[in-house]
Structure 1
């Protein structure tokens, strides 16, 4: 029987690369997206046609209070082998620029919904005493960033969630880790000018932004047996930036 994994934010650049790696490993996939339906449909078809895996597409807005329930209700009581918490978005601006609604949406998306979704899906995993959870965090959850204070705060909360949950689930045979990327060449960088992107690359010791596949490689490793004794860790994939 094929292993099953949920990937939230599957239609984005990092999400698609993660799904590609998991499909290569034979995982059947639940592909979550919010607004990019065409990308999710194209991804589903490509993975099914190329790797012969089964894919299910789930639409849900995880920045809404009922978003996590919509995803877990679709999956039902099926025991997943892996949960990849990848949905996210940033906000660039001063703390005083953010509205109450934007604050609530960001906290819901990065903190509350991952917590609720994991809580809802855990019983089936615990009953099997197997599985792995990987959150896609951010370098700013470790170092903090001016003009991305709320994003930094929520990613720091994700890191604490990972460390605490890993201790709670270790006796049940479930590992919990995070991958913490630096600057990655995805649509999330669209708000930066070419000059700003070049300045960021110059500040990174390896001299370039990460490729989405390099983040996906780290996720694939953490899900594999090669990481069987690794839990509660934040694996930085940042080219030496802000070490």
Structure 2
């Protein structure tokens, strides 16, 4: 059995299928999806449909991302958040043009079931973005922090990797978990298109919404496979590359 963390997808169904084929996923594997299934490339609704069907065949854990929250709100109320609209929502809305009301209800149910975080039996934490409570995710008062925060990753990047966990200067919020896996902040922001590690945090969002790839990492071995750069699979689209 492998446990594979899969980074942000952002409507790139072609990249997701390519990645899963490269991984040669087996029935006994567990896939942990780190959130942001929608917004960017033209197949957001199709990604959600694919994930629903995939979860009927293999063990999947689905984490809630900030873009997923916006899409859920639109499916539930019909109201368009303008921040969402300009950050991929327009493409996501268009992807639903051929979906029936019944199918949209099924997708809404999918979004409602997404987990804010997942903690496994080896004290490894999976969440979309980060947390600020020095007492851990369970004590995070403002729940949107779990899918919006970037300060956890910024903190880890700024730390000395040689700092002992018993040091007075070691941040308390990093002491709670053996490892932490996140998405949300593309590693391409740091001119890197592969997963990044800082202290005990692994970032597997490798920029699929922009010029990067979708990544799947085996959390035991830390080996990973990736799709092609997703933008090359959608040559007639800009995704979130608006410039």
| TM class, shorter-length | 0.3 to 0.5
Higher relative contact order (CA 8 A, sep 6+): 2
